[in-house]
Amino acid sequence: MAQATYIIVGAGSAGCALAYRLSEDPGNRVLVLEFGGTDAGPFIQMPAALSYPMNMSRYDWGFETEPEPHLGGRRLATPRGKVVGGSSSINGMVYVRGHACDYDTWAEMGARDWDYAHVLPYFQRMESAHHPHLDEEPGVRGANGPLHITRGTKWNPLYAAFVEAGRQAGYEATHDYNGLKQEGFGDMEMTVWKGRRWSAANAYLKPALKRPNVELVKGAFVTRVLFEGKRAVGVEYERGGRIETAHADGEVILAASSINSPRILMLSGIGDGKALSSLGIPVIANRPGVGKNLQDHLELYIQQACSQPITLYKHWNLVSKGMIGLQWLLQGKGLGASNHFEACAFIRSKAGVKYPDIQYHFLPFAVRYDGKAAAEGHGFQAHVGPMRSKSRGRITLTSPDPKANPSILFNYMSHPDDWEDFRTAIRLTREIFGQDAFAPYRGEEIQPGEAVRSDKELDAFIREHAESAYHPCGTCRMGAAADPNAVVDPEGRVIGVEGLRVADSSIFPQITNGNLNGPSILTGEKMSDHILGRTPLPPSNQEAWIHPDWETAQR
């Protein structure tokens, strides 16, 4: 039986950061259990190959939703990383901290000391940001952390056209949406360093594994947490067809994703007592919030034909892909060294919205996230979607068998406001694409298509074409210990038991603005200090920019 001070379940975004920080004290023995295998190889490490790993069963858990009732009964893919680095090894490498108001909202919802003032120092600790405007906002971005954050070369003129179109439409510009001013159009940041995907595994876990007090066990399928009374003392896992156990002298930390962390809790007897009893699972702690509060970002691809042959479409052939791959392998440079999301925007949908609630990823290509071309020929697109959907879903067990997939229902678009927000997002995107900056490049609208105009027509398009942005979170919600729907307290401790914490995107009370990799790593960073009993980093006094006329103006 393996013995450790801390057992971390999941070598993903938060788990890797935890392994790095908890092992800084040589007196701590850290055991990391990961079901997936190695992250070596060009499909993961080459940024431009991002559409491959998330569609490979070798690297992805292969989850999908139940038929979503408000999206015409479609089942949507729910990729989660089954590989060292977790979803940071298969994601789009987009780096977004989230808005300051996101974290202030968390604190208002019961996550004490997770407001912007308290999380900003941890973002600084984890980052090494590389961009030309760092000196303009001292004390905001980090320069010495493990996570390298870079910007693209903006090799394509369409990136500049997108930012200029935003300015022409009357929106703000921002030099750094991860600084104090998220709102506006500007350069997008990526977790890429020296041409390679800079996953949590590369940033945190591999340096940690050089220490003698860290052990990584791959191929470990964790089936349940082991308890003595109400205290977690270890975990049971299957590896190579054998059941094994590991014992924790200190604590067990679940960092297994917003799908697998609640699943393991429920299999271990923590969750809705009636539901667990109906499956024959002995109840250790009745926490009805486990698996509830499931949130995500949905997005649409608004696509425009390009009248000049300048997009990535010209490289959409085997010869060109081979040349790009060869240049990347030999030099770590070229088109293979970018995720190609190099321009972006965060805007507000209407007056009276305090901070951005719509996000854009801009891409000089008309293609789906899974790498399937939607249009023959040159085009460009904006991924657009509302940031704070009011719809909530759930994850439940289908069986006491740990190998049975959970039932996942996001209940997308179940709130009427979500439909209004999406229609607004489409219309605002068309206005941006209609600016003079795009005049030299603008062809026909590919998707939704010029004829799709009325609310009813737009709703039909949304129902058929909205896709997940793959940002599931919220299923082990953090809150006050007295909150009956909270699963963990503000230090990640599972309420109702001892020696067990959760530290990943499942603890988010509300989804943040933008992609979740950055906030997930933040969770591992901040929770490590709580676990070690360290004095938290002192809060910042920086204040984020809020549009001065937000109450009366949309832009």
Task: Tell me the CA distances in angstroms from 91 to 39, 119, 182, 284, 384, one per residue in order.
Answer: 13, 23, 22, 35, 17
Determine whether the annotation assigns residue 91 to a binding site.
yes
94 is in an annotated binding site: yes
Task: Give backbone dihedrals phi and psi of 505, rounded to 5 degrees, phi first.
Answer: -70, -10
Separation of alpha carbons 446 and 424, rounded Å? 18
The length of the chain is 555
Q: Are 449 and 457 in contact (CB under 8 A)?
A: no
From CA 540, how far away is CA 200, in angstroms rounded?
Answer: 25
Strand duo 285-286 + 270-271: pairing = parallel
Dihedral sign (CA 490, 85, 475, 263): negative
- Is residue 315 part of the annotated active site? The answer reads no
CA dist., res. 151 & res. 190, Å (int)? 6
Do residues 88 and 12 make contact, with C-beta atoms less than 8 angstroms apart?
yes
Question: Whole-angstrom Cα distance, residue 342 to residue 40?
Answer: 25
Residue 177 is encoded by which pair of tokens? 């949406």
Active-site entry in 118, 361, 383, 471: 471
Alpha-carbon span 225 to 238, nearest angstrom: 13
* CA separation, residue 41 to residues 38, 45, 104 (Å): 9, 6, 40
Could you count the other beta carbons within 10 Å of the beta carbon of residue 534?
11
- Report helix angle 13-22 to 517-532, nearest 10: 30
**Termini Cα distance of the chain:** 60
* Maximal C-alpha separation, the chain: 70
Q: Is residue 93 a known part of a binding site?
A: yes
The answer to whether the annotation marks 92 as part of a ligand binding site is yes
Binding region for FAD = 83, 91-94, 222
Give the residue ranges of the annotated binding site: 83, 91-94, 222
Question: Which amino acids are annotated catalytic?
Answer: 471
